[in-house]
Amino acid sequence: MRQLRILLDNIRFEHTIFALPFAYLGMVLAARGLPTLAQFIWVTVAMTAARTLAMSLNRLIDRELDARNPRTMHRPLPRGAISVRAVWAIVSASFAILEFAAWQLNELCFALSPLALIFLVGYHYTKRFTWLSHWILGFTDGMGAVGGWIAVRASFDPLALVLWFAVTVWIGGFDLIYACQDVQVDRREGLQSVPARFGIATALTLARVNHALTVLALAVVGVLAPLGIAFWIGLVIVAILLAYENAIVKPDDLSRLDLAFFNVNGYISIIVFVSALLGLWKS
């Protein structure tokens, strides 16, 4: 049991809540209601496996960097609480489960899974050569929303692409905020990030722009879907939460960054999904 807790802590399993509701959102919008039980199960399995794969790879690829960063040096791998071999075993198992789940959904999901894997593996390296890494992370997470759509429709549609953009700028925005705490380490290690390259104030300004675009993109989703009043009430709440998230983090005061990153964003993803589902029923 203790080893299981360490494995889950290594990948921050509880943070699956950030991405999973948007995959469900893609499903319910594509189905115009509830998907089939099989679609729900296999999308859940695929998303959980994809995130476990991505986070495990992140810990493996960055383990030497993590060991030199005071913020991350106590993670399980740097402190030796879990072996590299065990994490590679998790990566392999997650890959197999992801591919099987995609195969169970439909041919297009399975055919596109190699493309998803390229981003799930590749985005970890992007901070080594481009400060666009924040948006590449958002783009990668946004695949989950589109994956939920394709799981039901087995096709691309404009609405799915708008939803993908919404997740991209939402994740990109709060990753800009999160990266502010590692400015000195990133500069010392030669890593690329907006805060390290352009400064914390610029990063926080761009985060606000990204989150304004998030609200705008979700409004477009609400129009295209179309969704009823419950969604628009939820969107107002999300806009308020995003404004709060950006207001509590300042260039000279990052003390409330964890509250902005972990708590507020978890609420946002759930609110968007629940309000959209209610909006479908009431539209």
Tell me the C-alpha distance between 180 and 203, whole Å.
Answer: 8
- Could you tell me which CATH number the domain at 2-282 has? 1.10.357.140
Among 62-76, 129-143, 244-258, the range of highest mean pLDDT = 129-143
| Mean of per-residue pLDDT scores for the chain | 90
- Region 112-117: mean pLDDT is 92
Among 221-230, 260-269, 273-282, the range of highest mean pLDDT = 221-230
pLDDT (tens digit per residue) in 83-108: 899 889 999 999 999 999 999 999 99
Task: With cut-offs at 50, 70 and 90, classify the pLDDT of residue 118.
Answer: very high
pLDDT score, position 260: 65
pTM of the predicted model as reported, rounded to 2 decimal places: 0.93
Task: With cut-offs at 50, 70 and 90, classify the pLDDT of residue 265.
Answer: confident
pLDDT (tens digit per residue) in 21-55: 999 999 999 999 999 999 999 999 999 999 889 98
- Region 64-70: mean pLDDT is 92
pLDDT score, position 276: 96
pLDDT score, position 185: 94
pLDDT score, position 207: 97
Angle between helices 200-224 and 158-179 (to 10 degrees): 160
pLDDT score, position 256: 78
pLDDT score, position 263: 73
pLDDT (tens digit per residue) in 169-220: 999 999 999 999 999 999 999 999 999 999 999 999 999 999 999 999 999 9
pLDDT score, position 82: 86
Percent of the residues in the chain that have a pLDDT greater than 90, as a whole number: 74
